Amino acid sequence: MRETVDQKGKGSLVQGTYLEEAVSYAIRLKGLTKYYGRMRGIEGVDLTVGRGEFFGFIGPNGAGKSTTIRLLLGLVKPTGGEARIFGMNVGKDREKILSTVGYLSAEAAFYPGMRVKDVLELSAGLRGKSDRLKSDRLEIAKSCREAAGELCERLRLDTSRKVEELSFGNRKKVAIVCALQHDPKLLILDEPTSGLDPLMQKEFFEILRERNQAGTTIFLSSHILSEVQHNCSRAAIIQEGRIIACDRVDALYRMGIKRVGIRGRVDLSGLSGVQDLQKMGAETLNFLYAGEMKPLLAALANGEVHDLTMTEPDLEEVFLHDFQEGNT
Amino acid sequence: MKILRHELRQGRSACLIWTAIIGFLMIVCIFLFPEMKGEMEEVGDIFASMGSFTAAFGMDRLNIGTLIGFYGIECGNVLGLGGAFFAALTGVSMLAKEERDGTVEFLMTHPVSRVRVVTQKLIATAVQILFLNLMILGFSFLAMALVGEPIPWKEILLLHLAYFLLQLELAGLCFGISAFLRRGGAGVGLGLAVMAYFLNLIANLTDKAGFLRYVTPFAYCEAAQILTEGKLDFRLVIVGMAFMGIGIAAAYIRYCRKDLMA
């Protein structure tokens, strides 16, 4: 359903204007389902990403991350449910949505025989809709060119080279510039750092933080959990096509799971909630603990402990914990 | 028109190569004619007495000893088959190549509608076919002028118009098929072109297979019929254009609904 505002009811917005300014979310998925024939893509996904959020989307390969992104971009049609971006229905208002979205694909594939500058120009040109005035299109092209110049400089991208001569990392840089040059309000990033060297990854996330501070919503899909951990305010975990957790990243940490390291002799056999138990030598133990604190302390008191460390696990460990829980 | 310009740039090399090859073969054929003209009068009698083989290629109604007869048979086959292959290959890859090469995510994540993509790719296909045909027509006239033969303008133009329509029909059908494919499709395109060619030969061999003339676009490109009657068989042309229309409609319907996967 296309949301419009009646001129009489809302004086500030003309009739036919989308509720874009009124909605507080950038992305809203309601019961979104996709089957490829009999193959499950995603099932009943509910998710809301607020405006201006830096949102992480985590999951193992085949969990449904790419399917969710394809649905958001209108590349595939949903089997059920609904996807909205800035209040607009992805199925009905795809072009209007895409004019405000920058997408960075995992593969970064381009047309053969083109130079980087031609790809950037093509991308900018495809954003200047044919029904706009020529002066508007020229303005868009000019602002894209300026932004692209700055981004290429920061990412050290040579625009005179042919795309098929570029390494995967450099092709990824081209895709980054294409995704950012039109100053999108929403950035959808699918495994954005694969192929980038650590220095470029740092620069890339610096650019993303700047954009995010300027108001751009960022939807970061990644299986590199440290990227989500260090950059995102909220994250959702998808597994086997379903969202199994969605919360603030710091709250995901505080699901009561601890990483416990012990040097000494402790009998853990009566404890429930011990996972990922690693024994290093006769007297060093390391494990994830998701149970009550009292029995753990009792076990430690009854044992012979020379040294003890108890830390917040990183997101990867939380995720793996969830993953194991989901499988049991 | 950004997508149209982009497609023309992408297809430029292939179009120029096909134009050069077909044009070269046409010129060679025309340059051979004065030398072969004398012999052709004798050979023509042999060609005209080979029974169903003669009928299959329309040599029972054409005098191969004249420029237009020679052009209709020899150059007609070069342009007919060469043009059909080019049109089929261009049409069948036009939509499918985006998914095959993984560029569909680049293209379709820009604010462009699928209708706009299909329309501009369709125009790009037609423009390339038009370019190839105009260039080859120019080469042919030039070669005829150079060998000093009087140019039968009307007949040549009618023949070239027929081959142009044949290519449009095949391209339209293959364009429709392209919307259903995710990978390649060159084999399908070439197969369709070859099948259409042989269906016409079969239709010429026996009256029982005459209905095939409504299936293959080569039927309305018969040099023997065009040159003897001085016009195209518009019934066959209309049927052919209907097939093209079905192909194009299928492309729009399918591409606007399909899941696009890189």
pLDDT in tens, B109-137: 999 999 999 999 999 999 999 999 999 99
pLDDT reading at A296 higher than 70: yes
Which of these, B227, B245, B241, lies nearest to B160 by C-alpha position? B227
B116–A126 CB contact, under 8 Å: no
- Token readout for A63 is 């969990």
Collect all residues of chain A within an 8 Å Cβ-Cβ radius of residue B260: 70, 75-76
Q: Which residues contact B253 (CB under 8 A, 6 or more apart)?
A: none
Which of these, A242, A219, A202, lies nearest to A42 by C-alpha position? A242
A98–B109 CB contact, under 8 Å: yes
For residues A276-296, b (16+ Cβ closer than 10 Å) or e, as one string? eeeeeeeeebebbbbeeeeeb
- Token readout for A268 is 């853990």
- The pLDDT, as a whole number, for residue A230 is 86
- Token readout for B6 is 């982009």
State the smallest CA–CA distance between residue A105 and chain B in angstroms. 7
Please give the average per-residue pLDDT across A121-149, as a whole number. Answer: 77
- Token readout for B66 is 């004249």
pLDDT in tens, A25-42: 999 999 999 999 999 999
Question: What are residue B15's DSSP bridge partners?
Answer: none
B101–A112 CB contact, under 8 Å: yes
Domain extents for chain B?
A: 2-35+79-257
Binned at pLDDT 50, 70 and 90, residue A11 comes out as: very low
B231-234 — which CB contacts under 8 Å span 24+ positions?
A: B231/B158, B232/B158, B232/B161, B232/B162, B232/B165
- The pLDDT, as a whole number, for residue B183 is 82
Contact A27, A20 (CB under 8 A): no
Please give the average per-residue pLDDT across A68-84, as a whole number. Answer: 96
Phi, psi of B202 (to 5 degrees): -65, -45
State the smallest CA–CA distance between residue A206 and chain B in angstroms. 24
Please state, in angstroms and rounded to a whole number, the distance separating the CA atoms of residues A80 and B200: 48
B105–A74 CB contact, under 8 Å: no
Please state, in angstroms and rounded to a whole number, the distance separating the CA atoms of residues A312 and A133: 56
- The pLDDT, as a whole number, for residue A143 is 78
- The pLDDT, as a whole number, for residue A12 is 38
Interfacial A residues in 111-130 facing B (CB < 8 Å): 111-113, 122-123, 125-130
pLDDT in tens, A227-272: 888 899 999 989 889 998 888 887 766 666 788 999 999 988 888 8
Which contiguous run of DSSP H or E holds residue B83?
A: helix B76-94
Collect all residues of chain B within an 8 Å Cβ-Cβ radius of residue A36: 259
Please state, in angstroms and rounded to a whole number, the distance separating the CA atoms of residues A261 and A30: 42
B10–A113 CB contact, under 8 Å: yes
Question: Could you count the other beta carbons within 10 Å of the beta carbon of residue B90?
Answer: 27
Is B23 or A320 the better-scoring residue by pLDDT? B23
Collect all residues of chain B within an 8 Å Cβ-Cβ radius of residue A101: 109
Collect all residues of chain A within an 8 Å Cβ-Cβ radius of residue B257: 77
The ipTM is 0.85
DSSP-derived secondary structure letter, B233:
-
Which of these, B205, B7, B219, B1, lies nearest to B93 by C-alpha position? B7
pLDDT reading at A198 higher than 50: yes
